[in-house]
Structure 1
Amino acid sequence: MILINVKYQVKPEYVDRFLEDVDWFTQATRAEEGNIFFDWYKDPVYEDEFLLIEAFQDDAAEPHVKSEHFQRACEEMPKYLVKTPSIINTLIPGKTEWDKMAEFQVD
């Protein structure tokens, strides 16, 4: 699994409609064969910050970044942003499923 977290700082004039305006990208990415999840979260403290949590099958990263919708996002999304997004990504080879949390066991 390729696990990616991206933090976006959105210009004030776009904050209220950002998720609506990029929904085409969200839906197209979720429809990709290798997508596991692609979820946006709005920061409750910093209203202009959004966090994108996404995961793909091990071999799905290249098709994702070569997709038409990703290329469109590269062209269109910068206009919404204050600065270049911050990213953390990692590869967990062969991982595709969620594990149970050992610390909070429920019987």
Structure 2
Amino acid sequence: MILINVKFTPKPEYADNFLDKVADFTEASRAEGGNIFFDWYRSTENDGEYLLVEAFQDDAADAHVNSDHFKAAQDLFPLILAETPRIINTLIEGKTEWDEMAEFRVEN
């Protein structure tokens, strides 16, 4: 699994409608064959910051970054962001899905 976390800071005028602005990119990324998840979160401490948590199958990175929607996003993001996004990108060999957290196990 390729696990990617990216922090985005939109320009103030796009802070409240940022998810609408990136909706096409989000939908197309989620529809990719190698996508495992692609989820946005707005910071509870800084409402001008969004976190993208995404994962792709190990062999899906090239298809994602070479897709038409990724190329369109490369044109869009510099126009609506206040700063360059910050990223953590890592490969977790053999991982394909979420695990249960043993420390907070819920017994039903």
Q: Secondary structure at the match of 1:16?
A: coil
Q: How high is the sequence identity, in percent, across the aligned residues? A: 63
Q: Root-mean-square deviation (CA), in Å?
A: 0.8
Q: Which stretch shows the higher mean deviation, 73-82 or 31-40? A: 73-82
| Equivalent residue, structure 2, for 1:63 | 63
Question: CA–CA distance in 2 between the matches of 1:104 and 1:22?
Answer: 34
Question: CA–CA distance in 2 between the matches of 1:97 and 1:9?
Answer: 28
TM-superposition CA deviations, 1:16-48 (whole Å, max 9, x none): 111001100000000000000000001112111
Aligned AA for 1:64?
H
- Does 2:74 match 1:51? no
TM-score normalised by length of structure 2: 0.95
Gaps of 5+ in 1: none
Question: CA–CA distance in 1 between the matches of 2:99 and 2:22?
Answer: 30
* Structure 2 counterparts to residues 13-24 of structure 1, below 5 A: 13-24=13-24
TM-superposition CA deviations, 1:23-76 (whole Å, max 9, x none): 000000000000000000011121110000000000001100000000000011
Question: CA–CA distance in 1 between the matches of 2:53 and 2:101?
Answer: 19
Gaps of 5+ in 2: none
Aligned AA for 1:11?
K
Question: CA–CA distance in 2 between the matches of 1:106 and 1:41?
Answer: 24
- Does 2:75 match 1:82? no
Structure 1 runs of 4+ with >3 Å offset: none
- Between the two proteins, the alignment pairs up a number of residues equal to 107
Question: CA–CA distance in 1 between the matches of 2:18 and 2:83?
Answer: 15
| Equivalent residue, structure 1, for 2:98 | 98
Aligned AA for 1:50?
Y
- Does 2:47 match 1:33? no
